[in-house]
Amino acid sequence: MMEVAEERGKLVGDDLSPHPRSFYLILAAFFILAALARVLRTGTLETDEMQQVLHYLSLEWGYGSQPPLYEWLQAAVFSITGPSVAGLSVLKYGLLFLSTLLIAAAVSLPTGDRLPGFLGAFSLFSMPTFFLMSQRDLTHTVAAIACVALFFWSLFTAVKNPTVPRYMIVGVAIGLGAISKYNFVVIPAAALLVLLAMNAFRSRVLDWRIVATVAVAAAIALPHALWLLQNLDSASAQTLNEMEIRQDVGRFWGFVATSASFATAVLKASLPIFGFFFVLFARDVRTIVRASNPSTQLVGWTFVVSLVLVYLTVVAIGATEVRQKWLAIYFVALPLYLTLKIAAAGIDVRPRLKAAAVISGTLFLGVSAMLVGKDLVAPALGWSDKPEMPYAGFAAALEKEVGGAPAVIVTPERALAANLLLQFPAAEIIAQESGPLAPLAAPAVFVATSDKASANLSGLRSDAATAPLQAIEIPDGPSTATRHVFYYSRL
């Protein structure tokens, strides 16, 4: 009896396999700790976070160069939490957690085993976009990653047991993905081509139930598609500008620049993923490479075809700059593919799961700790060159000057508008540079970070001369002589 107990204790301590729920708890702990770290940082909002706070003020069918899904989800969260860093963190880390669960479920469907699924979940953390960029400042890409994971899970579900509800879920994944990030549509297009090319799955595409997939996807995406047609110039301008489409280079050199930039982005995205699996399965590389089944072929070829379609697109439009984050959502398929290959090779993943969890946690929580140190510890010690605007101090001083929390805040600066909305969540924020204002509830104030904004103030009201800008100086911290100057005027 004692030998049995000792053996059971060794099993629990070595690989945790008798308690698979512990892996769910580990994953949840990663995201809870990272979310708490983001709340601790508070401070100035990042660029994408500012957009979410301001877009929360009105629900639209589209927002500039981005589809509306993330804004809608953020508005739903803010309706509970109010506009806050906590609300931003709940949505972002909640979607990342959901992505790991969906990848785990996607792996478990064709393998029939939950343990490879946990490996797939941990392998997502090897993506630079997942462990690094998402924590620094990403929003729409985070939603798109979750939609890619949902798509592969729903696809495996429909392929394994084709029913109308399962085909409809695939449509939900495609529709949501289309309104999360425009480049998502490449993935279902690539999957469709692969499914048609494979004898094992062709009948699933030619099944009449696919009408349900198309109908549901269209119902979700069509309203935004109509908005996009009416706002195509504004929706594409920023992306095309970032791609640096140049007309002053020859066709050949443009092709070379595009190919080099694309290859560099692919290498940056793929090498950390391959490194993660190599550390865990270096001795099994040959066995893994030779392993194959219809599931690995489906995911692998979908990944390859997606990249080929994107490459042909950027070459066709003459883009000379391809950023890694633009390819991020396609690389969700790579850890999924490698995990399925390992399962197809019959390799027992249990002895590697603890190491996978340690590597994932080190990457993810290490970045969280780094960002906390960068935003909190470094400035306090005078080691940071980043100007941290003391919005909380300005808000407290402004409230004292006005005699209470302002009911309306008008500013020409989007960063100031977003950060002050966190300080005064009940206030009406008007991010407006010029033009006459409608009657405002009192107390109403105009705020800016430069005295040159007096020109904006003059354009907002005819009697601006009677209410000049007044300065408020806020120290950068108790241990520094640096002071930030804000300006305000009663309206």
With a pLDDT cut of 90, the percent of the chain lying above it is 62
The answer to whether residue 3 scores a pLDDT higher than 50 is no
Angle between helices 186-197 and 164-178 (to 10 degrees): 140
What mean pLDDT do residues 177-206 have? 96
Instruction: Please say if the pLDDT value at position 121 is more than 60.
Output: yes
> Which residue did the predictor score with more confidence, 395 or 257?
395
**What 8-state DSSP symbol labels residue 129?**
I
Q: Of 220-224, 249-253, 451-455, 471-475, which one has max mean pLDDT?
A: 220-224
Per-residue pLDDT averaged across 206-233, rounded?
A: 94
The mean-pLDDT minimum among 14-23, 163-172, 223-232, 420-429 falls in 14-23
Q: What's the whole-number mean pLDDT along residues 396-411? A: 91
Instruction: Indicate if the pLDDT at residue 469 is higher than 90.
Output: no
pLDDT reported for residue 385: 55
**Residue 485 main-chain phi, psi, to 5 deg:** -110, 125
Check residue 4 and give its pLDDT: 38
Average pLDDT over residues 193-207: 95
Per-residue confidence (pLDDT) for residue 304, from 0 to 100: 98
CB burial of residue 178 (10 Å; 0-12, 13-18, 19+)? buried
238 pLDDT above the threshold of 90 = no
For residue 232, the one-letter residue type is L
Relative orientation angle of helices 114-123 and 251-281, to the nearest 10 degrees? 130
CA 256 vs. chain centroid, Å, equals 30
pLDDT score recorded for residue 245: 57
pLDDT over 80 at 50, yes or no: yes
- Quote the mean pLDDT of the chain: 87
Report, as an integer, the average pLDDT of 277-296: 96
More confident residue, 159 or 468: 159
pLDDT digits (tens, 9 = 90+) for 142-161: 999 999 999 999 999 999 99
Q: Could you tell me if 286 and 294 are in contact, meaning their C-beta atoms sit under 8 angstroms apart?
A: no
pLDDT at 269 over 60: yes
pLDDT for 247 beyond 80: no
Pick the residue with more confidence: 300 or 316?
Answer: 300
Assign 57 a pLDDT band (cuts: 50, 70, 90). Answer: confident
- pLDDT tens for 71-117 read 999 999 999 999 999 999 999 999 999 999 999 999 999 998 899 99
Q: Across 256-301, where does the E strand assignment appear?
A: none
Out of 248-257, 331-340, 466-475, least confident range: 248-257
* 94 Cα distance to chain centroid: 11
**DSSP β-bridge partners for residue 411:** 431
Q: How confident is the model over 125-135, as pLDDT tens digits?
A: 999 999 999 99
**Which is more confident, 320 or 119?**
119
Lowest mean pLDDT among 34-43, 197-206, 235-244, 481-490: 235-244
Mean pLDDT of the region 442-450: 89
Q: Is the predicted pLDDT of residue 363 greater than 90, yes or no?
A: yes
- Residue 7, pLDDT score: 40
Which of 91-100, 309-318, 326-335, 451-460 is least confident?
451-460
Higher pLDDT: 248 or 259? It is 259
Separation of alpha carbons 294 and 199, rounded Å = 9
Say what the pLDDT of residue 384 is.
Answer: 58
Q: Over 50: is that where the pLDDT of 18 sits?
A: no
Half-sphere exposure of 233 (CA within 13 A, CB side): 0
Q: How much of the chain exceeds pLDDT 70, in percent?
A: 87
Q: What is the pLDDT of residue 14?
A: 45
Q: What is the mean pLDDT of residues 232-244?
A: 67
Task: Name the 3-class secondary structure at 54.
Answer: helix
Question: 480: buried, middle or exposed (CB in 10 Å: 19+, 13-18, 0-12)?
Answer: exposed
Amino acid, res. 104 = A
